[in-house]
A and B are shown apart, each in its own frame.
Chain A
């Protein structure tokens, strides 16, 4: 059992934090995990990627994920970069932070690789509602949990709580709630018409 995730976003969106949160949740439920940032200089808005490996066996390698099972796209504008989907196999999953539905994305020429499994989550909107700011991170993590079924929602909630504990309980709560909302949304979407088969 293994899950390799690659996260694409922009500086300030919490790309590195997302990878870390996933890895900590996996570790907490007894799996092996690794989060690897690929850093640039610390500039807000610049494209950033991070990798997360989860496995039931110890992880030895430290290279960035080049054959992801799932690609998380935190900023829709990054989709035009061919590097975002590089190495994604035909049965891989693309999770996109957008309020647009898949058909709309396809019309915009943003959906490539028709065999892949696409999931959209309006993470910015959800975050604006709960946190007052568009921080798509925890919602997208909830979505990963929903899509893969690999991580226990409680482990993810615990990892989020610990991470945001310093910012006050209400922030931690709101982030956990965000993850749950996205989790539910994805559950509906994968059952409904949102998937791109």
Chain B
């Protein structure tokens, strides 16, 4: 494919910066011949973190597999906004079956590819946090323990956004959702609940587990590429802010994701066979408050009289994970 030589004065500094990198380090998205696996024109909300993540993940996986990719999608926002019949945003073979079975369906696809001599075709399953940590956990755990050759990507927006923002097993403590309203002395979603799926995945000792956010697309692409270079069950957990459900500004999606990592609330790391092998250190550590204040789901923590105790508890949670994963380079040294 021919490309027009780029002149620096034609574009903003971010894009130009990408092109100043060594070609091997450039993002998939910066390439004119990227797969564009999800075309524009789909029905995602403005500022949707999931749509951005899915595009980046899919294009990276397409590049890593040379276009030999099939994807299975759980029910959820991604499925709904991308395939309103008779339209489809997908430029890859795409199958949606049910909410809770994406992992098992993907296992079936992978088995079929193996049995029919098409091992070169790789399988990527994707689901939201509901379809991953809650209703889809049984099938996902089965896929993990059989070590089926599937990369399962969870786009975690921390709740059931498609059905009107109810809590899921991935909703953080203190968050207000449609069914965890901070009424009376309530704080929203309770402490001591929820599950940490990357750690559950690691407990299965599968070849590869990683977390990422849409705040670092280079990192996200690199992890998809790394995942696709391996065989067996792999799990990628991507934090994707949801302006609708989180009450954040549509223009703040990337910023919110970045603050989630920089506050320590969302550790970014890689693990192989159950052991953490790589962490992304925090560059500029921020108090959790900086992250929480951008989202109306945490507003009740800051309106008079406020809940400094809850904020402190969340800060403690972040501090614990920073220590656990060694995310603070200064503390580590």
Direct touching of A and B (C-beta under 8 Å): no
Using a CB–CB cutoff of 8 Å, the interface residues on chain A facing chain B are none
Interface set of B (CB-CB < 8 Å, partner A): none
